[in-house]
Amino acid sequence: MRLNDTVSGGLLLALGTVLVIHTRSFPASPGQELGPGLFPALVGGGLALCGLRFLWCGLRQPGDPWLTMEEWVRRPHMVRNFAVVIADLIFYALVVDTVGFFLTAAIFLSALFLTFGVRHRWIPVLAVCVTLGMHFAFYTILHVPLPWGWLEGIAW
């Protein structure tokens, strides 16, 4: 499935604009010039610029269809993979605050590894190692607060 560049550009432009506007509500970090909204604002600005480029290219080719079905849509396992990724993202967004980052990320990664054919014996090892690595990167290095959820009692 492929969207016309005009449609993709409009969606990217809207997403980038909303992201930049939303980052203005982020609180300032005391003692720092650069706050927590800097990187999301840069990403939003980049998305908006890419959206403008797509819009420009799409408007130069007015005869393209709005939606084109690609070959992968006819393959059931590819549609399943797509559905699992979307369902996994929705699962993460809905339960991460309650269950916590560690457990949610491990389940999230395990589902993806299982879907994409990682050997079963490696799934728990990879899920735990990648989750710990992401926690270290975001929590320790970038100082992004991640929810502890059910593991609040053992939070360090």
Per-residue pLDDT tens digits for 12-51:
999 999 999 999 888 877 777 777 888 899 999 999 999 9
The answer to whether residue 64 scores a pLDDT higher than 80 is no
Rounded to whole angstroms, how far apart are CA atoms 109 and 56?
A: 37
Rounded to whole angstroms, how far apart are CA atoms 69 and 66?
A: 10
Most confidently predicted of 5-14, 116-125, 146-155: 116-125
The answer to whether residue 11 scores a pLDDT higher than 90 is yes
pLDDT band at 4 (very low <50, low <70, confident <90, very high): confident
pLDDT band at 62 (very low <50, low <70, confident <90, very high): confident
Predicted confidence at residue 38, as pLDDT, reads: 87
pLDDT band at 5 (very low <50, low <70, confident <90, very high): confident
Give pTM, 2 decimals: 0.66
pLDDT band at 95 (very low <50, low <70, confident <90, very high): very high
Q: To 5 degrees, how large is the angle CA 56–CA 62–CA 68? A: 100
For strand 67-68 and strand 2-3, is the pairing parallel, antiparallel, or unpaired?
Answer: antiparallel
pLDDT band at 156 (very low <50, low <70, confident <90, very high): low
Nearest by Cα to 110 from 93, 95, 130 = 130
The answer to whether residue 1 scores a pLDDT higher than 70 is no
